[in-house]
Structure 1
Amino acid sequence: MHLTQPLHRAVQQQPHQPLTVSGTRERTAPQIAHNVARLAGALRELGVGPGDRVVIVAFNSDRYFEALMTTWWLGAVATLINRNWSAVEVADAVSGVGARCILVDEECLPLVGGLDAETSTVYLGDGPAPAEMASYEDLIAAGPVVADVRAGGDTLAALIYSGGTTGRPKAVMHSHRSLTISILSSTGYARSCEPGGSALVMAPLFHIAALLGMLAQTVVGGTLVFANRFDPDEVLGLIADRAINTMTSIPSMLQLLYNHQAFPDTDVTSVRSIVYGAAPMPAAILDHAMAAFPNANFVQGYGMTETAVIVSLLGADHRAGGARLRSAGRASLHAEVLVMGDDGEEAPRGTVGEIVTRGEHVMLGYWNNPEETAAALRGGWLHTGDLGYMDDDGYIYIVDRAKDMIITGGENVYSAEVEDVIANHPAVLRCAVIGLPDTRWGERVHAVVVLAPGGVATAEEIRGHVKAQIAGYKAPRTVDFVDALATTATGKTDKRFMRRLYT
Structure 2
Amino acid sequence: MLDGSTAIVPTSDDARETALLRAALAVGEPIADEVSLVVSTSGSTGVPKGAQHTPATLSASARATADRLGGPGNWLLALAPHHIAGLQVLLRAFASGFTPTVLDLTAGFDAEGFAEALDRLDGPRRYTSLVPTQLIKVLDSPRATAALRSADGLLVGGAATPAPLLRRAVDAGLPIVRTYGMSETAGGCVYDGVPLDGVVIRIDEPSPDGVGRVVLGGPMVAHGYRNLPDHPAFAEAGWFRTDDLGRLDDGVLSIVGRADEAILTGGLTVVPQVVEAVIAEDPTVAECVVVGLPDDRLGEKVVAVVVARRGDPVDVNRIRGSVAERLGRYAAPREVIEVDELPLRGPGKPDRRALRRRFSP
Partner of 2:336: none
* TM-score in terms of structure 2 length: 0.68
1:178 aligns with 2:65: no
Shift of the 243–177 alpha-carbon distance from structure 1 to 2, 3 Å rule, reads closer
Deviates more, 1:250-259 or 1:181-190: 181-190
Distance (Å, rounded) in 2 between the aligned partners of 1:90 and 1:446: 28
Mapping 1:10-25, distance limit 5 Å: none
Distance (Å, rounded) in 2 between the aligned partners of 1:250 and 1:165: 17
1:155 to 34, 37, 57: 34
Mapping 1:6-405, distance limit 5 Å: 72=4, 75-83=5-13, 87-100=15-28, 155-163=34-42, 166-191=45-70, 195=72, 197-229=73-105, 230-242=109-121, 245-260=126-141, 262-263=143-144, 267-292=147-172, 294=173, 296-314=174-192, 329-341=193-205, 351-371=210-230, 373=231, 375-380=232-237, 381-391=239-249, 393-404=250-261
Equivalenced residues, count: 287
Q: CA deviation at 1:444?
A: 4.0
> Which secondary structure state, in structure 1, belongs to the residue aligned with residue 355 of structure 2?
coil
> Which secondary structure state, in structure 2, belongs to the residue aligned with residue 169 of structure 1?
coil
Q: CA deviation at 1:370?
A: 2.9
Partner of 1:495: none
Shift of the 301–268 alpha-carbon distance from structure 1 to 2, 3 Å rule, reads closer
Partner of 2:337: none
Shift of the 156–475 alpha-carbon distance from structure 1 to 2, 3 Å rule, reads same
Distance (Å, rounded) in 1 between the aligned partners of 2:116 and 2:7: 35
Distance (Å, rounded) in 2 between the aligned partners of 1:450 and 1:282: 28
Unmatched tracts of structure 2, length 5 or more: 263-271, 297-342, 344-349
Distance (Å, rounded) in 2 between the aligned partners of 1:157 and 1:278: 23
> Which secondary structure state, in structure 1, belongs to the residue aligned with residue 9 of structure 2?
strand
Shift of the 301–261 alpha-carbon distance from structure 1 to 2, 3 Å rule, reads closer
Distance (Å, rounded) in 2 between the aligned partners of 1:272 and 1:222: 16
Distance (Å, rounded) in 1 between the aligned partners of 2:257 and 2:55: 31
Q: CA deviation at 1:311?
A: 3.2
Contact 1:251-1:442 within 8 A present in 2 as well: no
Distance (Å, rounded) in 1 between the aligned partners of 2:28 and 2:128: 33
1:448 aligns with 2:301: no
Contact 1:202-1:249 within 8 A present in 2 as well: yes
Distance (Å, rounded) in 2 between the aligned partners of 1:269 and 1:336: 31
* TM-score in terms of structure 1 length: 0.50
Partner of 2:2: 3
> Which secondary structure state, in structure 2, belongs to the residue aligned with residue 281 of structure 1?
coil
Unmatched tracts of structure 1, length 5 or more: 5-71, 102-152, 315-328, 406-433, 452-466, 483-503
Q: CA deviation at 1:481?
A: 5.0
Contact 2:64-2:196 within 8 A present in 1 as well: yes
Distance (Å, rounded) in 2 between the aligned partners of 1:93 and 1:243: 35
> Which secondary structure state, in structure 2, belongs to the residue aligned with residue 234 of structure 1?
helix
Shift of the 91–247 alpha-carbon distance from structure 1 to 2, 3 Å rule, reads same
Shift of the 180–442 alpha-carbon distance from structure 1 to 2, 3 Å rule, reads farther
Distance (Å, rounded) in 1 between the aligned partners of 2:294 and 2:205: 35
Show CA shifts across 1:385-440 (max 9, x none). Answer: 2111111x2111111212229xxxxxxxxxxxxxxxxxxxxxxxxxxxx8884868
Distance (Å, rounded) in 2 between the aligned partners of 1:171 and 1:397: 26
Q: From the CA coordinates, give the structure whose radius of gyration is larger.
A: 1
Contact 1:257-1:263 within 8 A present in 2 as well: yes
The aligned amino acid for 1:276 is V
Distance (Å, rounded) in 1 between the aligned partners of 2:104 and 2:11: 16
Distance (Å, rounded) in 1 between the aligned partners of 2:45 and 2:355: 18
Q: CA deviation at 1:96?
A: 3.5
Distance (Å, rounded) in 1 between the aligned partners of 2:154 and 2:202: 27
Distance (Å, rounded) in 1 between the aligned partners of 2:27 and 2:147: 44
> Which secondary structure state, in structure 2, belongs to the residue aligned with residue 370 of structure 1?
coil
Distance (Å, rounded) in 1 between the aligned partners of 2:360 and 2:86: 38
Partner of 1:52: none
